[in-house]
């Protein structure tokens, strides 16, 4: 049961942005720019960072929906997503993405946890300023979304398979407010 | 030393918001609406929520900045100090104590917010919208604090920077200044 009187028919963040569209429009604008806007990181890698941070925050709705979107965006390599979430150290992803995931995992704990060595490792693996900036901001943004979604006790879809359609939607049309999409 | 090249005259969040301006726009607009928009919580009360979360996240820049803004808006610096020390004993309303408790829990984790904490706020007169805005403000500062510290932004060399910043936050809010920030260069 949500903690406040949210629309019943929609789960997670969608119920919140329908409840308070004045803040919802900025939240969707931010996530669209961060995950789909211009960046040296691919949309798939950015969704993976979002899924990983949401997984660490134990936010079922955000983790499942962004993992589903990442699977769609990786296409034939979709198994990467679950391999990374289980143990990214052994997952077949680039040293650069691993180093960025380390940074994202530290941001999830607290900003101060990120150490100069973490940044040096990422740079040595080829990460530039914008890779590092965007990773930190995506991780921080999902620390906001996860708390917003769970802090108000939003509902989650009844079936895990419901996330497949959600992943397909956000991997094709991106982040569109519920009242503006079908 | 910040981990990425940000303007040296812009400590804390300001340099980051100038570094990537497309994402800064919705972050600023969201903050302006939440902390300065029409609301049944006063601007000072909303700054207290920002302060307690930033303090819990050990983010020195954000804590100092929002405590300074809260002090100006509340007209009494002892309130912010008391809230930072122990919000349950602070000279704020029962409703604010309950909302600050929700903010404290949101900072730990969204899942940490209990039915008990929500019921206490409702019994003290908090509306659904006030609870919503408290949770979102607390969550937003969990973003800011991680952004500011995760990239190791600098604290200002001169502590009086925060007095000027507080005036700017009270007078202009969170929108980007129309003239930019070049005037802050020494």
The secondary structure of A97-150, three-state, reads: HHHHHHHHHHHHHCHHHCCHHHHHHHHHCCCCHHHHHHHHHHHHHHHHHHHHHH
* Residue A178 confidence (pLDDT): 86
CATH of span A12-176: 1.20.1290.10
| Inter-chain residue contact A148 with B143, CB threshold 8 Å | no
What percent of chain A is predicted at pLDDT more than 90?
93
Residue B104 lies inside a defined structural domain of this protein: yes
Select from A1, A3, A40 the residue whose CB has the most chain B CBs within 10 Å, as the one to mutate to test that interface.
Answer: A3
Whether residue A182 has pLDDT greater than 50: no
Which chain A residues have a beta carbon less than 8 Å from that of B102? 151
Q: Can you give the pLDDT at residue A181?
A: 53
CB of A5 less than 8 A from some CB of B: yes
Which residues in chain A touch residue B17, judged by CB atoms under 8 angstroms apart? none
Q: Does residue A48 surpass a pLDDT of 70?
A: yes
Task: Tell me if A30 and B105 make a contact (CB, 8 A cut-off).
Answer: no
Tell whether B26 is covered by a domain: yes
Alpha-carbon Rg for chain A, nearest whole angstrom, is: 16
Q: What backbone phi and psi angles, to 5 degrees, belong to A23?
A: -90, -30
pLDDT of A78 reads 96
Beta strands, E only, chain B = none
Does position A9 have pLDDT exceeding 90, yes or no? no
Structure tokens at B118: 């929500």
**A132, A137, A148 ranked by CB distance to B135: nearest:** A148
Q: If you average pLDDT over residues B55-63, what whole number do you get?
A: 98
How far, rounded to the nearest angstrom, does the alpha carbon of residue B106 sit from its chain's CA centroid? 14
pTM above 0.95, yes or no: yes
The model's confidence at residue B186, banded by pLDDT at 50, 70 and 90, is confident
- Write out chain A residues lying below 8 Å of B106, CB-based: 147, 151
Residue in A3, A59, A133 nearest the CB of B151? A133
| A175's tokens | 């982040």
Per-window interface: A 117-176 vs B, CB < 8 A: 119, 129-130, 132-134, 136-137, 139-141, 143-153
Residues of B in contact with A152 (CB under 8 A): 110, 113, 131-132, 135
Question: What CATH number should be reported for the domain holding residue B46?
Answer: 1.20.1290.10
Supply the range of the domain harboring residue B19: 12-174
Q: Mean pLDDT throughout A41-58?
A: 98
What is this model's ipTM? 0.98
CA separation, residue A81 to residues A58, A159, A165 (Å)? 16, 19, 17
Is B46 a domain residue?
A: yes
Judge whether residue B14 has pLDDT over 50: yes
Q: How many structural domains does chain B have?
A: 1
Percent of chain B with pLDDT over 70: 100
Closest to A69 measured CA to CA, from A165, A2, A137, A143: A165
- On whether residue B183 sits in a domain, the answer given is no
Distance (Å) from the alpha carbon of A35 to chain B's nearest alpha carbon: 11
Mean pLDDT of B174-185: 93
* A130 neighbourhood in chain B, CB within 8 Å: 20
3-state SS class at A158? coil
d(CA A70, CA A59): 16
Residue B126: alpha-carbon gap to chain centroid: 20
pLDDT at B31: 98
Q: Is residue B86 part of a domain?
A: yes
Cβ distance of A59 and B34 shorter than 8 Å: no
pLDDT (tens digit, 9 = 90+) per residue, B94-129?
A: 999 999 999 999 999 999 999 999 999 999 999 999
Question: pLDDT digits over A142-180, tens only?
Answer: 999 999 999 999 999 989 899 999 999 999 999 999 876
- Buried b / exposed e across B71-105, counting CB within 10 Å, b at 16+? bbbbeeeebbeebbeebeebebeebbbbbbbbbbb
| Cβ–Cβ gap A57/B109 under 8 Å | yes
Closest chain B residue to A140 measured between Cα atoms? Answer: B143
- From the list B37, B113, B146, the residue facing A140 with the nearest CB is B146
Could you state, in order of their start, the residue ranges of all structural domains in chain A?
Answer: 12-176
Whole-angstrom distance, CA of residue A163 vs CA of residue A72: 11
- Nearest chain A CA: its distance from B91 CA (Å): 26
The string of pLDDT tens digits covering residues A113-149 is: 999 999 999 999 999 999 999 999 999 999 999 999 9
Q: Which pLDDT belongs to residue A179?
A: 73
pLDDT over 60 (residue B2): yes
CA B120 to chain centre: 23
Integer distance in angstroms from the first to the last C-alpha of chain A? 25
With contacts defined as CB-CB under 8 Å, which chain A residues touch B34?
Answer: 23
At residue A18 the predicted structure's pLDDT band, cuts being 50, 70 and 90, is: very high
Helix pair B43-56, B60-74: axis angle to 10 deg: 160
Quick check: helix, strand or coil at residue A57? Answer: coil
The rounded mean pLDDT for chain A is: 96
Per-residue model confidence as pLDDT tens digits over A76-127: 999 999 999 999 889 999 999 999 999 999 999 999 999 999 999 999 999 9
Contact flag B23-A137 (C-beta cutoff 8 Å): yes
């Amino acid at each position: 049961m949500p903690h406040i009187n949210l629309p019943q028919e929609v789960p997670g963040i969608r119920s919140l942005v329908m409840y308070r569209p004045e803040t919802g429009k900025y939240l969707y604008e931010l996530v669209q720019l961060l995950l789909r806007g211009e960046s040296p990181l691919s949309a798939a890698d950015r969704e993976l960072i979002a899924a990983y941070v949401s997984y660490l925050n134990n936010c079922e709705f955000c983790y499942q929906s962004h993992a589903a979107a990442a699977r769609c965006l990786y296409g034939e390599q979709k198994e990467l997503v679950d391999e990374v979430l289980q143990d990214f150290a052994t997952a077949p992803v680039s040293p650069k993405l691993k180093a960025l995931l380390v940074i994202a995992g530290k941001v999830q704990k607290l900003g101060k946890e990120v150490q100069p060595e973490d940044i040096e490792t990422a740079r040595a693996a080829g990460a530039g300023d914008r890779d590092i900036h965007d990773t930190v901001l995506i991780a921080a943004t999902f620390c906001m979304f996860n708390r917003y979604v769970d802090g108000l006790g939003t509902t989650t879809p009844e079936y895990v398979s419901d996330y497949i359609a959600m992943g397909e939607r956000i991997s094709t049309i991106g982040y569109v407010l519920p009242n503006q999409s079908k | 030393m910040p981990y990425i090249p940000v303007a040296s005259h812009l400590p804390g969040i300001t340099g980051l918001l100038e570094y990537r301006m497309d994402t800064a726009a919705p972050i600023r607009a969201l903050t302006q609406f939440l902390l300065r928009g029409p609301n049944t919580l006063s601007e000072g009360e909303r700054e207290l929520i920002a302060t307690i979360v930033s303090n819990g996240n050990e983010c020195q820049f954000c804590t100092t900045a929002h405590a300074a803004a809260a002090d100006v808006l509340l007209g009494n610096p002892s309130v912010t100090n008391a809230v930072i020390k122990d919000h349950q004993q602070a000279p704020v309303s029962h409703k604010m104590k309950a909302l600050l408790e929700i903010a404290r829990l949101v900072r730990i984790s969204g899942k940490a917010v209990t039915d008990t904490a929500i019921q206490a706020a409702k019994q003290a007169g908090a509306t659904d919208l006030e609870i919503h805005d408290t949770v979102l403000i607390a969550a937003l500062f969990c973003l800011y604090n991680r952004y500011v510290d995760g990239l190791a932004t600098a604290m200002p060399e001169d502590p009086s920077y925060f007095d000027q910043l507080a005036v700017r936050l009270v007078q202009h809010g969170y929108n980007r200044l129309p003239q930019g920030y070049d005037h802050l260069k020494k």
